[in-house]
Amino acid sequence: MSDPLRVLNPVVAEDVQLHRALGPLHLTLIGVGAAIGAGIFVIAGTVSAQHAGPSVILSFVIAATGCFFAALCYAELAAMIPQAGSAYTYTYATMGRFMAWFIGWNMVLEFGVSASTVAAGWSGYFMNLLHWFGISYPEAWANAPIAGTGISDMHLTGAVMNLPAFVMLLLITAILVIGISQSARFNAAMVLVKVGIVLLVVLFGLPYVQAANLTPFIPPNTGVWGHFGTSGVLAASGTVFFAYIGFETVSVAAQETRKPERDVAIGILAALAICTSLYVLISIVLIGIVDFHLLDVADPVTFALEKVPELRWLVLPVNIAAIAGLISVAFGSMYGQSRVFYGMARDGFLPPVFARVNPRYRTPALCTVITGVVGAVIAALFPLDILADLVSIGTLMAFISVCAAILVLRHTAPDKKRKFRTPYVWFTAPAGIATCGLMMFSLSNGTWARLVVWTAIGLVIYFSYSIRHAAPFKWSVTNDES
């Protein structure tokens, strides 16, 4: 029997393979670690104050539903094509090399820029922790030297660089180089810390929830679209979508998983379920113990806890959890970035140096170092408001491509044996495309403008290098032979 999804015309011959060391628990923790961060520590409070009120709980569920459709498609493709690269690899297998490059280039926004964004946010929590212990640190070395909300209004701030963010990403890069098993253990420790403290907040905070703070569940619309009411719930769901993007990191790890045909599906769905549960629970506590109008602050969780004298002892642990949580999110983003670059270089889209696997650590060490240093420099120079908008649009495009890819394979290889099958695929995949497309087109014009610039840069690279080095196709997609 022939393998209908076999590698054809390999561009990079590899003497050393990536180490298959991950199981379902590792994958679940990678997914949770990459997702639980800003969604709990910032977004829930901000969005409730600006858009949805108590119904932000419903917004999290709506966003999770869209991610769930995409997750089911990811699970089937990861089982069929257990290679590094995630959406990039799946697009290559079904839509050809140009679309593969386009999606892979946008995944740089999802993973690489996301890591830099998280590192910049982490620096703020780190500074708060230093202040808690009475340690002074020069502001000029903790802020970005460039500021601005768009392209035309960027200006210098007078700061030197965001040194804590720079150092944090370099340390994560070093851990990723050492090896996937060691990296997974580090990530697991960070995840356990932040999830444990989040559960403490839920456990001790629930008794102080006041029903009056949760009513009306959907505050009446103020006359402005997206400002409370039903439109506020929908607008909030588009914002809290950012809290879920980390689960895709699980599929990136397929080539380093012992049983990818089974474990990737478990990891993706388990991570999504855990994250949704935690988001809903923390939202109930957060909004239940303080008026949601007051939560439009940088640290809504600690702000809410300080309003209840009996819960103030949790402020320091929450601060520590935020620091650990954002470290693990940056870890997941850097891991995903290095593996996507590895996959693209392995196929000839990028220079072969990115596909070299270190014989000692069995990781794409040089690729990891290069992407880590670039990410650290970006985090040191640019603030959150310039970086954040780039992340979402790249992620949504990747989700849409995966949902489309599963439909292509169901048509071109209907008899291919699938160890995991997306249920009700002709409903699930289109629903994923529609949901993610709606969120994508709700983004600002500025975000679309930056996407155009980013795409133009990618096209220059593609037509100057990739088109001459990448194989025209990589996978033979036919039905199983009996």
Rounded Cα–Cα distance for residues 85 and 338 (Å): 9
Structure tokens at 258: 């012992």
Q: Where are the alpha helices (DSSP H) in 44-179?
A: 44-47, 56-80, 87-95, 97-108, 114-132, 163-178
Rounded Cα–Cα distance for residues 166 and 380 (Å): 5
Share of the chain above pLDDT 70, in %: 80
**pLDDT tens sequence across 410-434:** 888 787 777 778 889 999 999 999 9
Share of the chain above pLDDT 90, in %: 7
CB atoms within 10 A of CB 271: 27
Structure tokens at 61: 């569920």
Highest-confidence range of 236-250, 394-408, 411-425, 450-464, by mean pLDDT?
450-464
**What's the pLDDT at 204?**
93
Per-chain mean pLDDT for the chain: 78
Sign of the CA dihedral running 76, 81, 82, 88 = negative
pLDDT (mean) for 99-127: 78
The kind and range of the H/E element at 329 are helix 315-346
**pLDDT tens sequence across 36-95:** 776 677 677 878 888 888 998 898 888 888 888 988 887 787 777 656 556 777 778 777
pTM score = 0.72
DSSP string, 388-404: HHHHHHHHHHHHHHHHH
Pick the CATH number of 22-472 from 1.20.1740.10, 1.10.10.10, 1.10.10.60, 3.40.50.720: 1.20.1740.10
Rounded Cα–Cα distance for residues 340 and 344 (Å): 6
285 three-state secondary structure: helix
